[in-house]
Amino acid sequence: MRLSYPATASDYQKLARATLPRFLADYLDGGASEEQTLRANERAWQDIGLRQRVLIDAGDVDTRTELAGQACSMPVALAPLGLAGMLAPRGEAQAVRAANQAGVPFTLSTVGICPLEEVKAAASDPFWFQLYMIRDRAYVERLLNKAWGSGCRTLVFTIDLPLPGPRHRDTRNGLASPGTRSAALKAWQLLSRPRWLWQVGIGGKPLTFGNLNEAVPDAVNLDSFKNWVDTQFDPSVTWEAIGWLRERWPGRLLLKGILDVEDARAAVRLRADGIVVSNHGGRQLDGVAATASKLPAIVAAVGGDTEILVDGGIRNGVDVFRALALGAQGVMIGRPWAWALAAEGQAGLTGLLQTWRQELKLAMTLTGVTRIADIGMAHLDTARTIDLSMAGEQQ
């Protein structure tokens, strides 16, 4: 039975799985290898208790803040998501409209379906652009210039994908496997979702990688795109690339994929404007720690020197509060916004973001804090959060 009034990320996930072909649903939901880190990300936030207080004046709770210098209704940004335009018709354009309506930043992925020009036309506020470093540096420069010309002033450089992680769901569903058998498997999955086939497969065309159309031969073909990625993603990239980017990008630079204190310190030394504590949603190296468990130590090491965002397993407004209490200035979310978009398009994403803001406001009210900047460790139940607080001191 289809849910009439979805409210939570989990609700939208169920609807998305009932809407999408299986290879797309599993591409969205899946992680690397045995998916241990994928599961650990969510559990880690759930293990952080809040300290409820009462009879404190909370009549004027304000969830507004700034992220990367941009005013926001709450400290949440939509993370870059590849293939979002295959989840709903012209998905990135729908998502940026929902983000603008909610007053939160949207980040366009290098490997999104909608190109920069289309997202710019749909947006009423500035949006962010995410970059993967590819071997063709001349093309990277063209992307940077195009992003700047589209009004982007914040660049999110993803640094934890020198090679794509082993995502076995993609292999099982034929998404990562070429050949006739794979094509037949995907075709069967497409035919089992006629609504998606009509609305997105046909109505959402062109389903090409909009920002890479000039670089990828036969960009409409997933197998050709995978071959291009395998040859163009550059595992030889080092910290020297930050200086190269700094010379070519005049705006703010956030480094996404930091999970180690020493890497966080290196980012600060190289004048990154901010970092995103991230393990790529558990989609890269399976077995690495949950982001919540790494956040306190990174905050202790560089929190006074740079802006810190975090992603990975955040599923509601209470998780946003938990991240802020551990020292982050904000969060990035990926799968939740993708589920809402796939389930109900722009309206679904708008509804989800409204719910999260309400949940964050309630968490602030019942912990006795009225301003985002005032949220801290004092608002956590240390009896439940002792391991994380100790981690911040020991690492």
Per-residue model confidence as pLDDT tens digits over 160-171:
988 888 999 988
Q: Is the pLDDT of residue 146 over 70?
A: yes
Q: Is the pLDDT of residue 220 over 80?
A: no
Q: Are 366 and 53 in contact (CB under 8 A)?
A: yes
Range with the poorest average pLDDT among 99-113, 167-181, 206-220, 265-279: 206-220
Q: Are 95 and 349 in contact (CB under 8 A)?
A: yes
pLDDT of residue 230: 67
Confidence of residue 395 (pLDDT cuts 50, 70, 90): very low
Q: pLDDT tens across 200-215, in order? A: 999 999 988 899 888 8
pLDDT of residue 366: 97
User: What mean pLDDT comes out for the span 374-385?
Assistant: 87
pLDDT of residue 44: 97
Name the residue with tokens 């990926």. 334
Q: Is the pLDDT of residue 262 over 50?
A: yes
- CA torsion sign for 382, 385, 386, 390 is negative
Q: Is the pLDDT of residue 69 over 70?
A: yes
Ranked by mean pLDDT, which of 49-58, 218-227, 293-302 comes out on top?
293-302
> For residue 294, what are the CA distances in angstroms to 165, 321, 327?
21, 16, 11
User: What mean pLDDT comes out for the span 148-152?
Assistant: 97
pLDDT of residue 174: 84
User: What mean pLDDT comes out for the span 320-349?
Assistant: 98
Q: Where do the domains of the chain lie?
A: 9-394
Q: Are 214 and 220 in contact (CB under 8 A)?
A: no
Average pLDDT, the chain: 92
Which residue in 90, 280, 294, 315 is the catalytic one? 280
pLDDT of residue 358: 98
- Residue 324 burial (C-beta neighbours within 10 Å; 0-12, 13-18, 19+): buried
Can you give the length of the chain in residues?
A: 395
Known catalytic residue: 379? no
pLDDT of residue 388: 59
Q: Is the pLDDT of residue 84 over 50?
A: yes
- Higher-scoring residue by pLDDT: 176, 283: 283
Determine the Cα–Cα distance for residues 259 and 257; give it in Å rounded to an integer.
6
pLDDT of residue 389: 42
Q: Is the pLDDT of residue 250 over 60?
A: yes
Is the bond preceding residue 126 a cis peptide, omega within 30 degrees? no
Query: Looking at domain 9-394, does it have CATH number 3.20.20.70?
Result: yes
User: What mean pLDDT comes out for the span 121-132?
Assistant: 97
